[in-house]
Amino acid sequence: MTSSHLDKGVLTSPVQRPAPLRESVYETLLELITRRRLPPGRHLVENELAEQLGVSRQPVREALQRLSNEGWVDLRPGYGAFVHQPSESEADQLLAVRALLETEAARLAAGAATPEAIERLRELWRAGMDGVERGDTDAMVDSNAALHHLIVEAAGNQVLEGLAGQVARRVRWYHGLVVQRRGHESWQEHAAIIDAIEAGDQERAAALMREHTEATRLAYHEKSTESADAAGDEAGGDGAADASAETGEPVGTADRAAGGPA
């Protein structure tokens, strides 16, 4: 069972105002989830979140409800809120859609990207490589997201850009799990894609993007399988305490009171 304790270092400062409070809380929690500061399976206890965010429980409850509606959080009656643990099928569906959208975006970008867009792609590539050299996961994830967004933007198709934007944040969530594993290889693939776009080679740009997104999909499944195996080994040693989370037996009364509806 994943501990319900929220590490003190996770939330470093109260949310900023004057944005509507529920929106600020929502954005803060979503950012923590997509960056895996709050990993899949983490118990989100309202009292703890409210205290560390410097707000009352009401905007936290509203944010958790919205995150649940969007599939980021699971609300379990009598147990509380938990960061959603995606299934292999969910991951495959999302990453397949991502591959279709971004393959077409790379093809279109190779026929439409301006010199300024190419130079910006090179800058993002350099930032990503610097992150790889420093082992900075956040820098790699952010540079990767920005580079892919710019390729979609350079395609010049607003409908495609809108659809890609709907899946981009969730893709970043999956990518955070494999960014270290892919490392230099991923950024070498980015360099080849940028070269093809700059050369105006639409078919090559599309083929390279298709291979790139497929490599990320396979890496995610490999890492997910390893994590599941490791969790199974740990659960086997922890005994009945962890079994309660898997079998649906209630957690402690204090956890229910803190994390459940009030």
* pLDDT tens column, 125-153: 999 999 999 999 889 999 999 999 999 99
Give the right CATH number for 88-226 from 3.40.50.970, 3.90.1170.50, 2.40.50.140, 1.20.120.530: 1.20.120.530
C-alpha 118/C-alpha 106 separation (Å) is: 12
- Reported as a pLDDT band with limits 50, 70 and 90, residue 13 is low
Mean pLDDT of 219-245: 60
pLDDT at 183: 87
Instruction: List the domain boundaries for the chain.
Output: 1-85, 88-226
pLDDT at 254: 32
Reply yes or no on whether the pLDDT at 4 is more than 80: no
CATH architecture of the domain formed by 1-85: Orthogonal Bundle (1.10)
User: What percent of the chain is modeled with pLDDT above 70?
Assistant: 79
Mean pLDDT of 205-233: 83
SS3 129: helix
C-alpha 247/C-alpha 79 separation (Å) is: 13
Q: If you search the block for the tokens 């859609």, which residue do you land on?
A: 97
Calculate the dihedral angle through the C-alpha atoms of 206, 152, 67, 37, rounding to the nearest 10 degrees.
Answer: 80
Range with the lowest mean pLDDT among 67-76, 105-114, 135-144, 205-214? 135-144
C-alpha 34/C-alpha 174 separation (Å) is: 8
Q: Are 176 and 34 a contacting pair, CB within 8 Å?
A: yes
- Reported as a pLDDT band with limits 50, 70 and 90, residue 38 is very high
Mean pLDDT of 234-239: 52
C-alpha 181/C-alpha 209 separation (Å) is: 18
Q: Which regions of the chain does DSSP assign to beta strands (E)?
A: 43-44, 73-76, 80-83
Range with the lowest mean pLDDT among 152-156, 158-162, 233-237, 252-256? 252-256
Joined tokens for residue 235? 């659960």
pLDDT at 224: 72
pLDDT at 75: 95
Mean pLDDT of 49-72: 94
Residue closest to 206 by CA, chosen among 96, 107, 108? 107
pLDDT at 221: 83
Neighbours of 1 (CB within 10 A): 14
User: What percent of the chain is modeled with pLDDT above 90?
Assistant: 61
pLDDT at 249: 38
